[in-house]
Amino acid sequence: MTANIYFTGGPEAWARYKLPLLEALASAGIEAELTNECPDPAAVDYLVFLPGTVSDFTPFTRAKAVLSLWAGVETITGNATLTQPLARLVDESLAEGMTDYVTGHVLRHHLGIDRFLTATDWVKVVPPLARDRKVTVLGLGQLGTTCAAALAGLGFDVAGWSRRPKQIDGIACLSGEDGLAEALARAEILVLLLPRTPETESILNAETIAQMPEGAVVINPGRGALIDDEALLSALDAGHLGHATLDTFRVEPLPADHPFWRHPRVTVTPHIAAETRPATASKVIAENVRRAEAGEPLLYLVDRGAGY
């Protein structure tokens, strides 16, 4: 089978993805015409998509699918010109990287490591055991479920919250508005792994932060728009929250004059929690091309109504 595939990313991304994509497509039995140069849109069978590139999908009349290289698709789901099926990226390397980040920072805050990095005197502060530390994960998709399970495996008392009811072994699963209040009330450490949708925009705001325990820690490797920045800063200034470790932001790169950079209770990391790895991501893309060519359902098809 032969497919004309347009990789929409710029030169840097193309250099990283060209060979892994060609290898993955060949392994999947796809004879591909893969290009990074804008082709005749009417001849394109598939778009391998990175946000910030194509904005008008109308000319791609033959395209069978738009295959995103990002897990988050909030920048494209509302595009009225996108009538082709849209698949987001669900990749094992994303889950592994996110788990490394989340468990590392949960342990950092649980153990109070920052305190000892700057210690100049002998003050003995012994942390509780993991089983006595309550961690809440908001969002129980692939990434949230994997991270919650890893934290539970380390012995933490883990609860998770999702819009729809779920059952996950070892995790106290909560849902709905009442469930959110319960999830926040127990969150000594809160991990945000929700997708960005109209319903999750600023889900952490002055009202919801007030429901959290005094001194709680926020870790956000999900989406910057999940947090009301001003409300977070106010809660940190007031001491209601103890710290915020943030990996995603409403504007990226985070502007140099943003108060997050200077706040003593904020740690900024530059969107490194779950980087897409070309070798594994390319296999997901190739499998979806194979499926579409064979008339099989696409993996990770986006529900436009839900936004993910």
Q: What one-character DSSP code corresponds to residue 77?
A: T
Active-site positions read: 223, 271
What is the per-residue pLDDT across 7-47, written as a single tens digit (0 to 9) for each? 999 999 999 999 999 999 999 999 999 999 988 999 999 99
What are φ and ψ of residue 36, in 5° steps? -110, -5
Give the DSSP letter string of 12-47. HHHHHHHHHHHHHHHHTT-EEEEESS---GGG-SEE
CA 110 to CA 102: how far, in whole Å?
Answer: 12
Q: Which domains, and CATH codes, for the chain?
A: 2-91+276-294 (3.40.50.720), 95-268 (3.40.50.720)
Give the DSSP letter string of 111-178. HTHHHHHS--S----PPPPGGG-EEEEE--SHHHHHHHHHHHHTT-EEEEEESS---BTTBEEEEHHH
Q: pTM of the full predicted structure?
A: 0.88
What is the per-residue pLDDT across 224-267, written as a single tens digit (0 to 9) for each? 999 999 999 999 999 999 999 999 999 999 999 999 999 999 99
CA 211 to CA 163: how far, in whole Å?
Answer: 18
Q: Tell me the C-alpha to C-alpha distance, in Å, between residue 90 and each of 52, 67, 93, 302.
A: 20, 11, 9, 11
CA 293 to CA 307: how far, in whole Å?
Answer: 25
